[in-house]
Amino acid sequence: MVFYIVYAVAIAILIMHFTGFFARRNMEWIVLASPVAIFAVIILDFMNII
């Protein structure tokens, strides 16, 4: 279930990035931090930890 929630958040982050939402608020670091979080969830799901 966490796997699907993380992907939904990632899609929302991409949409906000391409519409300029983060650039207007000086929050582009979220676009760089999201792949780290998604990678961690994928690895933890693969290892059956979550």
- Residues 19-37 pLDDT 10s: 999 999 999 999 999 999 8
Percent of the chain with pLDDT over 70: 100
Q: What is the pLDDT of residue 31?
A: 92
The phi, psi pair for 26, rounded to 5°, reads: 55, 50
Model confidence band, residue 11 (pLDDT cutoffs 50, 70, 90): very high
Strand stretches in 1-50, DSSP E: none
CB of 37 closer than 8 Å to CB of 6: yes
Cα–Cα distance, 48 to 25 (Å, whole number): 37
pTM for the predicted model, two decimal places: 0.75
Angle value at C-alpha 29, between 24 and 32, nearest 5 degrees: 125
Name the average pLDDT for the chain. Answer: 89
Count other Cβ atoms within 10 Å, centred on residue 13. 19
More confident residue, 8 or 49: 8
